[in-house]
Chain A
Amino acid sequence: SQTIHQWPATLVQPVGSPLSLECTVEGTSNPNLYWYRQAAGRGLQLLFYSVGIGQISSEVPQNLSASRPQDRQFILSSKKLLLSDSGFYLCAWSRGTPEGYGYTFGSGTRLTVV
């Protein structure tokens, strides 16, 4: 069966510090991978998605970046965090084909920038 791992679960970082959140998927190959952010009182905002190694699409311009160094690894990074980067970050995967499958989400990372 497929599993998705996301870590760390919680993180408190000072403004201006770097960030690295990691997500890995097991039990499948060539998944579509996604990073979402959920700010307090708001819905899900798609940040990045990837359909293959080295292929990253950005949905929202900001000081975050994503990378996919391996087929089942997706990393969210920042060189300098802002207060507005605080939120709940969710990684998810889906099959590219066949169609109709929804997403499977990781357990999330609660990021607080202080």
Chain B
Amino acid sequence: AQSVTQLDSQVPVFEEAPVELRCNYSSSVSVYLFWYVQYPNQGLQLLLKYLSGSTLVESINGFEAEFNKSQTSFHLRKPSVHISDTAEYFCAVRKAGSARQLTFGSGTQLTVLP
């Protein structure tokens, strides 16, 4: 079975600084990878996903993530964060060939400080 590890539970960062949220997964088979964002008291929203092709994927609001198969990682980055990026971020993995559920990491709370 696959598993997902988000190494940092809390990441405080100043506005306009760069940020990296780390995600590592373990799986012996091909996987699809996702990042979700959750604002307070709301459901999760899909931020970006890797299915195949280019290992670098981007979201519409400036986030990007790179799939690294050798390191089994899918870290999320943004070169310059805004106060509005404050939220909880979840990494998730789905086994290719499976119609079953995603496996989520424990989440990383990103807090952007003024």
Contacts and interface: CB of A to CB of B under 8 A. Distances in A.
Contacts of B90: 43-44
B104 A108 contact: no
Contacts of A99: 32, 94, 96-99
Contacts of A92: 43-44
B46 A43 contact: no
Interface in A37-52: 42-44, 46, 49, 51
A106 B44 CA distance: 8
B34 interface: yes
A107 B42 contact: yes
Contacts of A90: 43-44
Nearest to B50: A100
Interface residues of A, number: 25
B51 A103 contact: no
A30 to B, nearest CB: 11
Interface string B20-56: 0000000000001010100001111110010100000
Contact of B45 (A6, A44, A105): A105
Interface in B81-95: 90, 92, 94
Contacts of A102: 32, 34, 36, 46, 49, 92, 94, 102
Contact of A106 (B43, B94, B107): B43
Given A105-B44, A108-B42, A43 B32 contact: no
A51 B99 contact: yes
A97 interface: yes
B102 A103 contact: yes
Contact of B43 (A46, A97, A107): A107
Contacts of B44: 44, 90, 92, 103, 105
B61 interface: no
Nearest to B42: A107
A13 interface: no
B105 A43 contact: yes
Contacts of A108: 41-43
Interface of A: 6, 32, 34, 42-44, 46, 49, 51, 88, 90, 92, 94, 96-97, 99-100, 102-108, 110
